[in-house]
Amino acid sequence: MKRGLSQVVSIMLLIVLGVIVIGGIFIWQSGFLETIQKDAALKKLCSTLEFRADGLCFNELTLKNKDGTDGQSSTNIKFDVINDANSKITGFLLMLIDESGNSKTISIVEIMELAGQQGFKFTTEGISNTGNIKKVSIIPQTILDEKTISCYDRKKIINKEEITQCSTS
């Protein structure tokens, strides 16, 4: 006489296995959907940011040593920005790209919030080792779920030809 699992036990095992597979798919899918929803919210928020950046210029600064000789040099970058949308901009990233393709990123958070239709004049701290700047990307930042979000797809690129020496006045 052959012995094996009864039909009732076999059906119960298949039902349990089905519930486990369906539960696993549900858990995986809910995390996947949450990620898609966050990405969609981020893209929608970033798509509402619109700003103008004008008058980008730089100042070369040379710090003096204690003995009065020239010391380390640095660069200040200045630019005006106007928020053309009703979304709030909370800061900017500046990405400096030199002739060799090297990049340097500087975070600017001088203000807490730039509301719609407001303007502001930014001046960076002294930046050392800027090299021969080829272009500057200005990337807006905003807040989503208490996290700072950089909206790279809304950046403004200023080419070398548009960058001037700041006037001393």
pLDDT digits (tens, 9 = 90+) for 34-90: 778 788 888 888 888 888 888 888 887 777 777 777 777 778 888 888 888 888 888
The CA angle 65-71-77, to the nearest 5 degrees, is 120
| Shared domain check, 40 and 99 | no
- How far is residue 57 from each of residues 72, 98, 118, measured CA to CA in Å? 20, 15, 21
| Shared domain check, 137 and 62 | yes
| Shared domain check, 98 and 37 | no
The DSSP symbol for 66 reads T
| Shared domain check, 116 and 61 | yes
| Shared domain check, 25 and 6 | yes
| Shared domain check, 91 and 29 | no
| Shared domain check, 103 and 22 | no
Residue with tokens 């960058």: 163
| Shared domain check, 144 and 69 | yes
Q: Which of 20-24, 118-122, 136-140 has the lowest mean pLDDT?
A: 118-122
| Shared domain check, 80 and 160 | yes
CA distance 40 to 94: 25
Has residue 16 got a pLDDT over 90?
yes
Residue with tokens 């095992």: 13
pTM higher than the cut 0.75: no
| Shared domain check, 83 and 156 | yes
* Structural domain containing residue 161: 51-165
Has residue 22 got a pLDDT over 90?
yes
| Shared domain check, 89 and 17 | no
| Shared domain check, 62 and 37 | no
Query: Percent of the chain at pLDDT above 90?
Result: 9
Per the structure, the count of domains in the chain is 2
Reduced to 3 states (helix: H, G, I; strand: E, B; else coil), residue 10 is helix
